[in-house]
A and B are shown apart, each in its own frame.
Chain A
Amino acid sequence: MKPVERRLLRELPVLRRHMTYSAALALFGAGLVVAQAVLLATLLADGFAGRGSGIVLPTALGGVMALRALLVWARGGLARRAAADAKHALRDRIARRLRHTGPLDLAARRHGETATLLTRGLDALDPYVVGYLPTMTATAVVPLTVVAWLGWTDWASALIVVVTLPLIPVFGALVGMHTARRTARQWRLLARLGGHFLDVVAGLPTLRAFGRERHQTRVVGEMADAHRRATMRTLRVAFLSSFVLETVATLSVALVAVPVGLRLLGGELDLRTALIVLFLAPEAYLPLRAAGAAFHDSAEGIAVAERVFAILDEPGDRSADSGDGTRSAASQDTRPPHPSRRALLSLDEVTVHYADRAAPALHQVSLSVRRGEHVALIGPSGAGKSTLLALFLGFVAPGVGRVVVGGTDLADLDADEWRAQVAWVPQRPRLFAASVADNIRLGRPDASDAEVREAARAASADLFVEALPEAYDTVLGERGAGLSAGQRQRIALARAFLKDSPVLLLDEPTAHLDPESEAAVTRATVALMRGRTSLVVAHRTSLLPHADRIITVRAGRLTPAQPPLATQLVTS
């Protein structure tokens, strides 16, 4: 058993239970197999001898066979239930792991694989749980029971079975070792040839663009043919193991049956015993034959389990805070933040260094934003503006220095409680696969319909929302499909309006918008900033006139920019 399998069994009690049930049912099943063989042999031997058998024996035989059917039903049902529960448990653990991963980490790393694993990938465990595990327990239980009974009935036949039975795993392992070497060599070639069709289909638009699509028709056929030849080279060897298994098993039946026949000829054996031996001998080999096939199917499940554990074992995020409020020592005395009169948001000699980058994202940065002040951040992309906002959101923890909000170090606060006072509008807000109204309600799930409409109106989102097929009840597609970038931005602003929090963090709300949308979003943003402490990353100039102070971020350092002329006119 591989370490992964041991860990699966250790960490999922449902699988341990499943193994126990399977062993018990396999033992019961072996008993029924013996009973069926004995009953049928007795019935036939009685008939052969001309003795009337009455009704008891056939009824008992029918009962035993019905019980076997019932057993198969129970075994399959329990196994599939165990698989469903095991997958649910693993999904839950992966989801919990995601909950404890910082949002920026989730966004930065490609988690498409995790999503696939959560939805379809785990199904590869089905053959492992439903087929492989019960078969393995049966291998341990059934041959032993059957051989014991055989030995008691006719030790000579039992001896043949005992001698030939170990040949199956031995030959299987020998052939397996040989094929493993050959398959490993073939594997890369097979993967490349097998992936070719997907590659060509994915590149079909490009092939057409350069007039090469017809040429590739022939290549598709040739590559599929090469794939077939390579696969067959591997299979010719791989199927040898099943050939050996099958032949040893059937040949052993012949090895048992022929001497039994000869002994019957000599009068050394009675027909009943001979028939019992004939019926039981194949049953001793059956689990081992099934194990060979199940082993083949289990590989993918084990690979999936390995991937799951790799995700669960990933070291914590690069930011100290995972945003779940389960922070170590510091979180013991969490207090609600008290916004001080003077500086509401401040950075004190903060340096942020991402593990995957050479230069620090922010270098010894100090900043303080007064209550009600509007501060704009400008500067080239990648200079550290978004990192600055992420610091105040608690998505990133400073390597050196302190982030102070309302007079308290953010590291001493419960992140969720602090975020309740902050509204954030990112560059590309995420809209969820829910109704428009529920998307606006993100921060306040209990808001009334009237409040949602009011927030949408304030964000100038009301007109286009009402034009949607079902207005606020329209369910948005994936990533807010069906809405333009500007419309998505205005829904995000409506979210912020509805949340009505005293602090506002905006990350280039007008980037990627056409001029018309930009004007509408700017209007809504300015309305939102009114009366709120705002830190705005503004690439475009349209928001700058509304800032009290403009700060340039360049290569991780801050320099104050000249206040624009418009400042005195606009600020309230």
Chain B
Amino acid sequence: MTPLTAGATTPQPPRHPTRRLLRHLLPYWRRLLPAALAAAGSELAAAALMATAAWLITRAAQQPPLASVSLAIVAVRALALGRGALRYADRLLGHDGVLRAVAGFRTRVYEALVPLAPAGTPAFRDGDLLTRLVDDVDAAQDLLLRVLIPGAAACAVAAAATGTAAVLLPQAGVLLGLLLAVAGLLVPALVLALSRRAGHTEQAARGELAALTLDLIEGAADLAAYGAQDRAHGRVRHASARIAALERRKALTTSLASAVVLLCQGGAVVGVTWLALRAHADGVLSAVHLTVLAVLALVSFEALAPLPAAARRLSEVRASAGRLAVLFDRPPPVVDPPRPARLPVGGPVGVDIRGLRVRHRPDGPWALDGVSLRVPPGHRVVLLGASGSGKSTLIAALMRFVPYEAGSIRVGGRELREVSGADARRAITGMTQDAHVFHASIRANLLLARPDATDADLSEAARAARLLEWIESLPDRWETHLGGDGSAMSGGQRSRLLLARALLADPPVLVLDEPTEGLDPRTAAAVLTDILDATRGRTTLLVTHERSGLAAADQVVTLTGGPHPAPEVICQ
């Protein structure tokens, strides 16, 4: 069995996604380097504190004059203070540098997304994908803060400890360096490889649970009516148990890494101490250095402790980086012509669509197959059609969000293909189906359409959309903050706000895509009547599946067909 909706064009996974992500972040090295140095310094101070204290104690045991250990006493106190201060500096510098890098990276991602909105990537059709995309961008933060900076600190400590040990006793240095390499390089590499493999099974199980849960909640009535609730619940329980079983299995391998690091530490302590004791017995190594070596072996592994977790995080970051790389590689659906023509704007403009053919994939079925439609200047044309008949595709083609392969769209006599997308949208815009209400004031949400609009313009547009009374009844009036995709207002108010925005933009050709979607029939009819009232005399294309409230339209046209049969426009 194959899923019906599997994308026909699965892009090749991009190569070296993490490296590409890093390339975006490296310009901030000037900010990140001090953080890494502070982190390394803090870890080195911790190790040096113990080593110096060990030196101090062993030297003192030889009962020399006080003067010969006074420097060590000062050093121990300084290191103890320095450790905390460096750690504080490391965390502050690290976060500051990383947030700067992420701020820059966000701008890059935004710029990459601009030509793709809305048809170039599925993220704009799916809120979950969009949220994940934003989380992916933030994964860059973890790459630096949780992987690279602790990694750099661990390297510094390992190198310093190995170097010091090698100077004191070469064979001890070799052993310590070897075991540090196993714990700090081999173990994280194995963790990385393992988590990459385990990730797929678990992801599939989680996807299954998500789908079944959605079925359970959204399909509750259908399940109850057909007595299938218990079966559906059984399936959810089963999927949940499967995830628990996978996680239990993973539990032992996950903590194994930390155990192996500790085992290496044990091996290093015993081995280095053994070598040092023999060297001391042979008279090659002083008693003071004997303790210092043992303590070095003990403390040098502490900086390695975060590495297994860092490796696990790295495998997640890699997945995020892969998705972002796909995004950066995506071609824009519509490319501007090399020398765009100007669109003659001014005076009433009409739209003439002939034989328009559009499809969403080069090898896909036609979403629009030979559609013809004329909107004369100053006329309000209503385009009716069932969901999936291609109405929104037509609007997207008019706004140059999707390309058309055949046919023509002429606006004011000019072929739309020959003008730039920005120019086309200056002439043809309005209310799209995915229109967004921003987390901002009502004023800011409206001004978006025309930044230079006066208060009088705003009031005029709101009045035409029959929103003015509501706005003026609010305690903060125009400054009322709208949050969470406009969830502070009702569906009707949301539609009216989007309508007011479209009216404020006042483009030569106004398009309104399903302005009553999600409204109850009575409100829908009222909104439609108001829209037709407010657009009198403007060139308007109104797309809807409502059939009531359209009496005032100059012309009503039906778009038939779905994804399978060839659609065509029937003019009445």
Given contacts A114-B217, A243-B85, A265-B63, contact A430 B91 (CB under 8 A): no
Question: Ordered nearest first, which 5 A-B pairs have the shortest CB separation?
Answer: A76-B255, A65-B266, A247-B84, A224-B103, A80-B251
Give chain A nearest CB distance to B216 CB in angstroms: 6
Which residue in chain A gives the minimum CB-CB distance to B72? Answer: A261
Instruction: For the complex, give the distance between the alpha carbons of A92 and B107 in Å.
Output: 42
Give chain A nearest CB distance to B559 CB in angstroms: 9
Residues of B contacting A214 with CB < 8 Å?
114
| A–B Cβ pairs within 8 angstroms, 12 of them | A40-B269, A80-B251, A212-B451, A239-B88, A257-B57, A264-B63, A265-B64, A274-B60, A416-B227, A435-B1, A477-B3, A512-B386
Instruction: For the complex, give the distance between the alpha carbons of A69 and B260 in Å.
Output: 7
Can you list, as one digit per residue, whether each of A464-476 has a CB less than 8 Å from chain B (1) or not (0)?
A: 1000111001111
Residues of A contacting B361 with CB < 8 Å?
none
Interface size on A, residues (CB 8 A): 156
Given contacts A72-B255, A80-B247, A484-B388, contact A202 B436 (CB under 8 A): yes
Given contacts A76-B258, A198-B131, contact A66 B448 (CB under 8 A): no
Residues of A contacting B366 with CB < 8 Å?
none
Residues of B contacting A203 with CB < 8 Å?
436, 438
B349 interface contact, C-beta 8 A: no
Instruction: For the complex, give the distance between the alpha carbons of A236 and B2 in Å.
Output: 53
Residue of A69, A221, A264, A395 touching B60 (CB-CB under 8 A): A264
Does B448 lie within 8 Å of A261, measured CB to CB? Answer: no
Does A95 lie within 8 Å of B227, measured CB to CB? Answer: no
Give chain B nearest CB distance to A198 CB in angstroms: 5
Can you list, as one digit per residue, whether each of B283-296 has a CB less than 8 Å from chain A (1) or not (0)?
A: 00001001100100
Does A206 lie within 8 Å of B5, measured CB to CB? Answer: no
A363 interface contact, C-beta 8 A: no
Can you list, as one digit per residue, whether each of B188-221 has a CB less than 8 Å from chain A (1) or not (0)?
A: 0000000000000000001001111111111111
Residues of A contacting B266 with CB < 8 Å?
61-62, 64-66, 68-69
A560 interface contact, C-beta 8 A: no
Instruction: For the complex, give the distance between the alpha carbons of A248 and B23 in Å.
Output: 39
Given contacts A70-B259, A258-B77, A264-B61, contact A208 B103 (CB under 8 A): no
Can you list, as one digit per residue, whether each of A180-206 has a CB less than 8 Å from chain B (1) or not (0)?
A: 000000000000100111111111111
Q: Interface on chain B toward A: helix, strand, loop, or mixed SS?
A: helix
B304 interface contact, C-beta 8 A: no
Q: Among B57, B277, B426, B485, which residue has the most Cβ atoms of chain A within 10 A?
A: B57
**Which residues, 349 to 404 on A, are CB-close (under 8 Å) to B?**
380-382, 393, 395
Given contacts A70-B259, A430-B222, contact A111 B217 (CB under 8 A): yes
Residue of B2, B276, B436 touching A205 (CB-CB under 8 A): B436
Does B434 lie within 8 Å of A205, measured CB to CB? Answer: yes
Residues of B contacting A232 with CB < 8 Å?
92, 95-96, 99
Residue of A62, A481, A486 touching B5 (CB-CB under 8 A): A481
- How many chain B residues sit at the interface, stated as a range, is 35 or more
A-B contact count (CB 8 A): 450
Instruction: For the complex, give the distance between the alpha carbons of A204 and B110 in Å.
Output: 9
Which residue in chain A gives the minimum CB-CB distance to B433? Answer: A205
Q: Which of the segments B154-162, B231-239, B472-480 contacts the partner chain?
A: B231-239
Q: Among A243, A382, A445, A479, which residue has the most Cβ atoms of chain B within 10 A?
A: A243
B505 interface contact, C-beta 8 A: yes
B25 interface contact, C-beta 8 A: no
Give chain B nearest CB distance to A305 CB in angstroms: 17
Instruction: For the complex, give the distance between the alpha carbons of A200 and B256 in Å.
Output: 43
Instruction: For the complex, give the distance between the alpha carbons of A232 and B91 in Å.
Output: 10
Can you list, as one digit per residue, whether each of B229-257 has a CB less than 8 Å from chain A (1) or not (0)?
A: 10111001100110110011011101110
Instruction: For the complex, give the distance between the alpha carbons of A77 and B249 in Å.
Output: 9
Does B432 lie within 8 Å of A44, measured CB to CB? Answer: no
Instruction: For the complex, give the distance between the alpha carbons of A17 and B434 in Å.
Output: 50
Residue of B252, B263, B294, B560 touching A515 (CB-CB under 8 A): B560
Given contacts A48-B58, A221-B104, A271-B58, contact A73 B386 (CB under 8 A): no
Does A393 lie within 8 Å of B60, measured CB to CB? Answer: no
Does A80 lie within 8 Å of B130, measured CB to CB? Answer: no
Instruction: For the complex, give the distance between the alpha carbons of A250 and B80 in Å.
Output: 5
A107 interface contact, C-beta 8 A: yes
Give chain B nearest CB distance to A312 CB in angstroms: 15
B413 interface contact, C-beta 8 A: no
Given contacts A47-B290, A478-B214, contact A83 B247 (CB under 8 A): yes
Does A205 lie within 8 Å of B117, measured CB to CB? Answer: yes
B566 interface contact, C-beta 8 A: no
Can you list, as one digit per residue, whether each of A490-524 has a CB less than 8 Å from chain B (1) or not (0)?
A: 00100100010000000000001111110000000
Residues of A contacting B223 with CB < 8 Å?
103, 442
Q: Which of the segments B14-22, B48-56, B549-557 contacts the partner chain?
A: B48-56
A209 interface contact, C-beta 8 A: yes
Residue of B215, B274, B451, B562 touching A514 (CB-CB under 8 A): B562
Can you list, as one digit per residue, whether each of A14-27 has a CB less than 8 Å from chain B (1) or not (0)?
A: 00000000000000
B353 interface contact, C-beta 8 A: no
Given contacts A206-B435, A432-B219, contact A246 B111 (CB under 8 A): no
Does A274 lie within 8 Å of B255, measured CB to CB? Answer: no
Residues of B contacting A211 with CB < 8 Å?
422, 425-426, 429
A85 interface contact, C-beta 8 A: yes
Residues of A contacting B254 with CB < 8 Å?
76-77, 80
A81 interface contact, C-beta 8 A: yes
Residues of B contacting A380 with CB < 8 Å?
521-522
Does A474 lie within 8 Å of B290, measured CB to CB? Answer: no
Give chain A nearest CB distance to B157 CB in angstroms: 15
Does A261 lie within 8 Å of B73, measured CB to CB? Answer: yes
B343 interface contact, C-beta 8 A: no
Given contacts A88-B244, A209-B432, contact A430 B219 (CB under 8 A): yes
B319 interface contact, C-beta 8 A: no
Given contacts A76-B254, A201-B113, A433-B212, contact A210 B505 (CB under 8 A): yes
**Which residues, 394 to 416 on B, are CB-close (under 8 Å) to A?**
399, 401
Residues of A contacting B69 with CB < 8 Å?
261, 265
Residues of A contacting B215 with CB < 8 Å?
430, 432-433
B571 interface contact, C-beta 8 A: no
Does A73 lie within 8 Å of B256, measured CB to CB? Answer: yes
Which residue in chain A gives the minimum CB-CB distance to B230? Answer: A99
Residues of B contacting A96 with CB < 8 Å?
233
Which residue in chain B gives the minimum CB-CB distance to A105? Answer: B220
**Which residues, 510 to 561 on B, are CB-close (under 8 Å) to A?**
520-522, 545, 560-561
Residues of B contacting A103 with CB < 8 Å?
220-221, 223-225
B178 interface contact, C-beta 8 A: no
Does A250 lie within 8 Å of B83, measured CB to CB? Answer: yes
**Which residues, 90 to 117 on B, are CB-close (under 8 Å) to A?**
91-92, 95-96, 99-100, 102-104, 106-107, 110-111, 113-114, 117
Can you list, as one digit per residue, whether each of B31-71 has a CB less than 8 Å from chain A (1) or not (0)?
A: 00000000000000010011001101111110110100100
Residue of A47, A267, A324 touching B280 (CB-CB under 8 A): A47
A549 interface contact, C-beta 8 A: no
Which residue in chain B gives the minimum CB-CB distance to A117? Answer: B213
Does A393 lie within 8 Å of B114, measured CB to CB? Answer: no
Does B226 lie within 8 Å of A239, measured CB to CB? Answer: no
Does A95 lie within 8 Å of B236, measured CB to CB? Answer: yes
A34 interface contact, C-beta 8 A: no
**Which residues, 407 to 452 on A, are CB-close (under 8 Å) to B?**
415-416, 419-420, 422-424, 426, 429-430, 432-433, 435, 442-443, 445
Instruction: For the complex, give the distance between the alpha carbons of A258 and B438 in Å.
Output: 61
Does A208 lie within 8 Å of B425, measured CB to CB? Answer: yes
Residue of B106, B231, B399 touching A445 (CB-CB under 8 A): B231
Residues of B contacting A240 with CB < 8 Å?
88
Residues of B contacting A432 with CB < 8 Å?
215, 219, 232
Does B92 lie within 8 Å of A235, measured CB to CB? Answer: yes
Can you list, as one digit per residue, whether each of B166-192 has a CB less than 8 Å from chain A (1) or not (0)?
A: 000000000000000000000000000
Instruction: For the complex, give the distance between the alpha carbons of A426 and B118 in Å.
Output: 32
Residue of A53, A196, A221 touching B439 (CB-CB under 8 A): A196
Does A239 lie within 8 Å of B91, measured CB to CB? Answer: yes
Instruction: For the complex, give the distance between the alpha carbons of A530 and B228 in Å.
Output: 25
